[in-house]
Amino acid sequence: LPGYHLALLPEETEDAPPGIRVQDPTFGLPAVWCAERNLPEAERLGLTAVEAPAVVTTHLLEELRKSAHRLLDRQEVKKLVDKVKETAPALVEELVPGLLPLGSIQKVLKRLLQERIPIRDLVSIFEALADHAPSIKNIEVLTEYTRAALAPTITRQFADEEGRVHAFVLDPLLEQHFIQLASDGQFNPNTLGLESGRAERFAEEADRLAKRLIARGHPPVLLTSPVLRPALFAFLAPLVSDVAVLSYNDLVPDAALEVADQLRLP
């Protein structure tokens, strides 16, 4: 609404400034459109109020980020490879097509974009692929190695202005249970090895904790073991809006981490 500000409301609160109750279009949180005269009340309640043009811009950028992996075809990948070749010809000549075909590189880049990991640092991505492609052809595993190479980028992306990464984690017993399932080959992205009721409960808890982080002004990050990360993202992505599932390898060793919550199941 022109001339209004959108104030996000924490889920736990009943207090809200006068205005029009809506759902935030970007993150799906409860919100209220406030007239300028009601902004002091929003500030008194500690709410963040965003101007209307910024709401539109944020929503548009989020939709573009969600769709970026769909826009990356082989021709675009060929252009990216040719661009890297201008400054790192030896790297590209080693990698393409001797170690990996263009289609495999495209799959890795699409996986990164699908999880909203920037691919601007193509030299680091190609270096990681060149290092591991001689012995590994599995796209999922190669993607995890490229993520580790992009740890400085990922850390900056999810850190706040003070350089702290806010995340929720799995309860240690639950995480150990999942790791045991993975070692037995029973941890999968469809059910996580849980019966349907418990899998549904897991998704609900993850959604609740993700929305709590968003309400506090932080990206919704679940931090977990590298062994579990891909399957957890595949399971949660359709169910928990905008969730980012990071592994400990995705962050630089000295990253300042703030654990906001633990996800528990009875």
Please say whether the beta carbons of 31 and 6 come within 8 A.
Answer: yes
Name the residue type at position 206.
Answer: A
Nearest-5° angle of CA 104, CA 107, CA 113? 145
Alpha helices of 23-73 — where are they, by DSSP H? 39-44, 52-71
The interaxial angle of helices 139-149 and 102-114, nearest 10 deg, is: 60
CA 165, distance to chain mean position in Å, is 12
Q: Which two tokens stand for residue 239?
A: 């169910």
Please say whether the beta carbons of 214 and 220 come within 8 A.
Answer: yes
Q: What pLDDT was estimated at residue 9? A: 86
Q: What pLDDT was estimated at residue 239? A: 93
Q: Which two tokens stand for residue 210?
A: 């993700």
Cis-peptide into 219, omega within 30 deg? no
Q: What pLDDT was estimated at residue 87? A: 96
pLDDT in tens, the chain (266 residues): 888 999 888 766 677 888 899 988 877 788 999 998 988 988 888 888 899 999 999 889 888 888 899 999 999 999 999 999 999 999 999 999 999 999 999 999 999 999 999 999 999 999 999 999 999 999 999 999 999 999 999 999 999 999 999 999 999 999 999 999 999 999 999 999 999 899 999 999 999 999 999 888 899 999 999 999 999 999 999 999 789 999 999 999 999 999 999 999 97
Nearest-5° angle of CA 181, CA 184, CA 190? 55
Nearest-5° angle of CA 167, CA 185, CA 116? 35
- The pTM of the full predicted model, rounded to 2 decimals, is 0.80
Q: Which two tokens stand for residue 40?
A: 């002091």
Q: Which residues pair with 149 in a beta bridge?
A: none
Closest CA to 46 of 26, 20, 17, 4: 17
